[in-house]
Structure 1
Amino acid sequence: MTTSRPLAGQVALITGSGSSSGIGFACARRLGLLGARVALTSTTERVRLRAAELAAAGIPATAHVADLTDSDQASDLVAAAVAEHGPVTVLVNNAGMRSLTSPESLVPAAVRRDPIRGPGWWSLTPPPVHIEPSPAAAMAAAEDQHVLVGDQV
Structure 2
Amino acid sequence: MAGVVVRVASAADLLELPAVEDAADELFRARGVLDLPAAAPAPLRARAWRVLVVGRPVVGFAVLDRVDGDVHLEQLSVHPASMRQGIGAALLGAAVSAAWVVGARRVTLLTYADVPWNAPWYARHGWQVTDDLGPELQALAAHEEELGLTRRGRRVAMARPV
TM-score when normalising by structure 2: 0.33
TM-score when normalising by structure 1: 0.34
